[in-house]
Amino acid sequence: MEHLRQDDPDQIGPYVTLARLDSEAAAHTVPERRYIARSTDGERTVVACLPLVGADPGRWAVEAEGARRLSLPGFLPVAEVGGTAGFPWYVTPYVPLLPLPAALAAHGGPLPEPCVRSLGAALAATLAAAHAQGVTHAGLAPAAVLLGTEGPYLGCYGTARSAGPDGEERRGLPGLDPGCLPPEQAQGGRPRPLGDAYALGAVLAYASTGHTVPERDELPPSLRSLIGACLSRDPAHRPQLDRLADEFRAMGSQLHDGTTQLSPSSQARPDAGHRPTVLDSAARPVPYPPLPARIVTALVRQSAELLAAPLPSHLVSRLVEAH
């Protein structure tokens, strides 16, 4: 959560902006402006999103409406789309979430290898389910991955499509992370499922090393072949994501000493008097393990700061005058 700047809007539709979701340092790779906002009656808190300044608001609005119509587990649900042709917006219900760059910053560096494997399994399964319904995300990048205690969510749906139409080169357009843009999409090709596989490889490389285009030797040895296959320039050499999810799950079921790791469902349950918390792996679905402690702390801090955040005083005065 970042403080608002002078050029940020006071209000987005019926929602008052409270803070930025993304840090200024990460803003150049985020394909939309994202704010934490609250309804003027104080009853609803949301993440409100706007197109980048200079982007085509019409194409962006089309993708926002497409995201609203989706009902896919693991995709950030879009609850409402509104605004005008020149100032469109959409909102998603707020839950404590950290964009992947913020999660790495909170952790103090790349994620532990077991977290990367579990992240790979969860994202690959989410994308495979979308592909089975004929949906290509076309916007996967570190900023599009939001980590919470119940698993990762995917936002920024359709970024490549909104940045530039098919047939026009997309390389260098604002909001597109160059390390995550498949070569065929950079050249103007239509986004297809194997482009999501390329972007997933770049995201997992980022989670493992802190940047999307690492040297092969920087990657953890157990992940090199899978991430390398995703990052093949030839789409035909990239893995199908349902099979990739299975491979990540299989890797995660083996500990480094060769013994099998128990899944939460097969471990001893908490005592009857103990209520599961976000720190208990049994409280989360397989294959998502507990997040590193510093990331959990950052999520708790974000939630606490938001609960304590009042509406800006000048807007409270305006609302009182209006009634």
pTM recorded for the entire structure: 0.86
- What's the rounded Cα separation, in Å, for the pair 140 and 142? 7
Q: Determine the average pLDDT of the residues in 291-295.
A: 94
Q: Which pLDDT value is given to residue 272?
A: 36
- What's the rounded Cα separation, in Å, for the pair 323 and 19? 25
Q: Which pLDDT value is given to residue 314?
A: 56
Q: Which structure tokens are listed for 169?
A: 């080169």
**Residue owning tokens 């570190």:** 142
**In the beta sheet, which residues pair with residue 286?**
none
Residue 125 contacts by C-beta under 8 Å, 6 or more apart in sequence? 74, 241, 242, 245
Is 84 strand, coil or helix? strand
Domain 11-95+299-310, what fold?
Answer: Phosphorylase Kinase; domain 1 (3.30.200)
CA quadruple 252, 257, 260, 266: dihedral positive or negative?
negative
Q: Is residue 72 a contact partner of residue 133, using CB atoms and an 8 Å limit?
A: yes
The DSSP 8-state label assigned to residue 3 in this structure reads -
Per-residue pLDDT tens for 251-272?
876 544 333 332 332 233 333 3
Q: Which pLDDT value is given to residue 85?
A: 83
Q: CA angle at residue 155 from 150 to 305, to 5 degrees?
A: 60
State the maximum Cα–Cα separation within the chain, in Å, rounded to a whole number: 68
Average pLDDT score, the chain: 86
- What's the rounded Cα separation, in Å, for the pair 303 and 242? 34
Q: Which pLDDT value is given to residue 131?
A: 97
- What's the rounded Cα separation, in Å, for the pair 36 and 29? 18
The least confident of 24-33, 142-151, 171-180, 289-298 is 24-33
Q: Which pLDDT value is given to residue 168?
A: 93
Of these ranges, 62-76, 286-300, 301-315, the one predicted with the greatest mean pLDDT is 62-76
Strand 87-93 to strand 145-148: parallel, antiparallel, or no bridges (unpaired)? unpaired
Count of residues in the chain: 323
Task: Read off the amino acid at residue 50.
Answer: L
Instruction: Calculate what percentage of the chain has a pLDDT beyond 90.
Output: 72
Does the pLDDT value for residue 21 go beyond 90?
yes
- What's the rounded Cα separation, in Å, for the pair 231 and 225? 10
Alpha carbon of 238 to those of 5, 37, 228, 272, 286: distances in Å? 42, 39, 9, 47, 25
- What's the rounded Cα separation, in Å, for the pair 143 and 123? 14
Domain 98-269+277-297, what fold?
Answer: Transferase(Phosphotransferase); domain 1 (1.10.510)
Q: Which pLDDT value is given to residue 53?
A: 85
Per-residue pLDDT tens for 176-235?
999 999 999 999 999 999 999 999 999 999 999 999 999 999 999 999 999 999 999 999
Q: Which pLDDT value is given to residue 54?
A: 81
Does the pLDDT value for residue 89 go beyond 90?
yes
Strand 45-51 to strand 87-93: parallel, antiparallel, or no bridges (unpaired)? antiparallel
Q: Which pLDDT value is given to residue 172?
A: 87
Q: Is residue 143 a contact partner of residue 153, using CB atoms and an 8 Å limit?
A: no
Residue-range domain boundaries for the chain: 11-95+299-310, 98-269+277-297
Q: Which pLDDT value is given to residue 194?
A: 97
